[in-house]
Structure formats: structure tokens, C-alpha cells
Amino acid sequence: MSNNIETAEIREVGKDEIWQDRKHHLWFPISFTKYSIENGRIYTNSGLLSSREDECLLYRVTDITLTRSLGQKIFGTGTIHMNTKDRSTPVIHLENIKNPVQVKRMISNLIEKEREEKHVVGRDMYGASGNMSDAEMDFDCDDHDLDE
């Protein structure tokens, strides 16, 4: 069998996988939501009869937050929330995963590694001009509006 179909590479499950887990209920990983990190990407697979796979490049993650309720602390799980610069998935939630503190640290280190490898600097991700409209920007730097 060919390794690609119409120049699209086939992703083999388990190959080059750095981390994987499932959404837990209590401490049981009995869910149809799976999370994995491989090849510089975060994958979220959900569903049984109809399924969905979301993918986000690690270097596009801009913020990571860990939340843990009392129940999650008791059962050793937590939820990681990641804000991204990805239009299709602006927020990724890794819900009720085990060892959340270690996973958050691992993801943070992987993000920095990916940014270094791809030579992505802060201004590429956090540029102030990204939140301003053309009308608010002063292109000629004369401190006057465009219509003056």
C-alpha cells in the first residue's frame, strides 16, 4: 500500500506519538474522546458513530491554562485549556486527562521547541497590529488619521 494518497500523507496511529490519553470519567478512561500529540500537532478525536478529528500545530498555541475541580483533584485528573491562533479551533480543551500538571509542562516545552525549530518569534504570534483595523493604523507614521 502506498504511503500517501493524492500527496496527502497517511497518519498512522501510534507512530511517532509523544503523548496520548482519553477523556476520563471519574478515574476510568471510558470515553470516545481521545487526545494525542505527534509530529508537532495536537489531535482531538471524538465520537463513536459519527466522529470528528481536530488538528492544531503546536507552535500556534498562545496560552495554556490548567483547571482542576475538587473532584478532579481527588481522581487525579484535570482540564487543560489552550488558546490558539487557529481559526477552526481557537480554543482546545483536553478534558479530564490524567497527570494534568506534567502534561501541561510537557506541552509547554514542546510548544517552545516547535517555535524554535520553525523560527517563530513573539511578534509573529502576538503582533499588536493583528487586533487593529486598517482605519486604526497610521501607515505613514505622522500621527494623523488617514482622512486628514
Select the more confidently predicted residue: 148 or 93: 93
Tell me: the pLDDT tens digits for 89-142? 999 999 999 999 999 999 999 999 999 999 887 655 554 344 444 444 444 445
Which pLDDT belongs to residue 102? 96
Span 48-56, average pLDDT: 94
Residues near 35 by beta carbon (within 8 Å), at least 6 away in sequence = 19, 20, 21, 22, 23, 42, 43, 44, 45, 94, 97
- Check pLDDT > 90 for residue 36: yes
Encode 111-136 in three state secondary structure. HHHHHHHHCCCHHHHHCHHHHCCHHH
Q: Phi/psi class of residue 6: alpha, beta or left (left: φ > 0; alpha: ψ in -120 to 50)?
A: left
Region of poorest pLDDT, from 24-28, 67-71, 72-76, 94-98: 24-28
Which pLDDT belongs to residue 14? 54
Query: pTM for the complete prediction?
Result: 0.72
